[in-house]
Amino acid sequence: AQSVTQLDSQVPVFEEAPVELRCNYSSSVSVYLFWYVQYPNQGLQLLLKYLSGSTLVKGINGFEAEFNKSQTSFHLRKPSVHISDTAEYFCAVFSQGGSEKLVFGKGTKLTVNP
Amino acid sequence: GAGVSQSPRYKVAKRGQDVALRCDPISGHVSLFWYQQALGQGPEFLTYFQNEAQLDKSGLPSDRFFAERPEGSVSTLKIQRTQQEDSAVYLCASSPAGTAGETQYFGPGTRLLVL
């Protein structure tokens, strides 16, 4: 069975600083990986996803993530954050073999301070 | 291009009451998912439909939880005899064709509080 570990529950940073949100996964089959963002009182919005091909994936709002098969990681990065990036970020793995469900990590709360 | 909508947005129920949560997926989307998100946690899968067929209900926590999608569009998640541990945000998502790796589009959720 697939699982996802988000190593940091909270990440505080200053505006315009770089940020990395860490995600590790476990899976015995090939994986499809996702990062979603959740703003307060809103649903989840897709930031980016990795299905195959280039291991560096670019998403919306200046975010990118790198798939590392040997490290079983899919860390999310942004070179310079804004106040508006304050939100909860969820890493997810697509569960193959059966239903098309996503298995989510517990989330990382990113707080960008002025 | 309306997104996924859910109603009600907030629901307060007394312990033991039955509740019904509605999801309107994006028009034409074949697949529909329900997830439960407890406070401070990531969403957890409850059940999955492809059109009107419920293909996976392995995540439903008890037989008090029941979901249906009778005409392959709108779905209802029903919780009977609600308990305090049912308090959570219930998220609905839909995807166009239900293929592997396809993006799931989420609604805003229904926040259920059981007193």
Q: What is the pLDDT of residue A97?
A: 65
How far is the alpha carbon of B30 from chain A, nearest alpha carbon, in Å? 12
The values of phi and psi at residue B86, to 5°, are -80, -10
| Preferred mutation among B44, B45, B89, B111 to probe A, highest tally of A CBs within 10 A | B45
**Chain B positions in Cβ-Cβ contact with residue A45 (cut-off 8 Å):** 106
Residue A96 has pLDDT above 80, yes or no: no
Each residue of B60-114: pLDDT tens digit?
999 999 999 999 999 999 999 999 999 999 999 999 987 878 899 999 999 999 9
Which of A36, A43, A49 lies at the smallest CB-CB distance from B109? Answer: A43
Query: Count of alpha carbons within 13 Å of A52, Cβ hemisphere only?
Result: 4
Give ∠ CA B52-B56-B59 in degrees, rounded to 5. 125
Residue B13 has pLDDT above 70, yes or no: yes
Which of B4, B45, B91 lies at the smallest CB-CB distance from A101? Answer: B45
B34 band by pLDDT with thresholds 50, 70 and 90: very high
Question: Are B5 and B106 a contacting pair, CB within 8 Å?
Answer: no
Residue B57 has pLDDT above 70, yes or no: yes
A49/B103 CB distance under 8 A: yes
The tokens describing B64, both together, are 């008090």
Q: What is the pLDDT of residue A98?
A: 59
Q: What is the DSSP letter of A41?
A: T
Residue B1 has pLDDT above 80, yes or no: no
Q: Measured between alpha carbons, how far is B38 from B40 in angstroms, rounded to an integer? A: 6
Q: What is the pLDDT of residue A99?
A: 66
Each residue of A11-51: pLDDT tens digit?
999 999 999 999 999 877 778 999 999 998 788 999 999 99
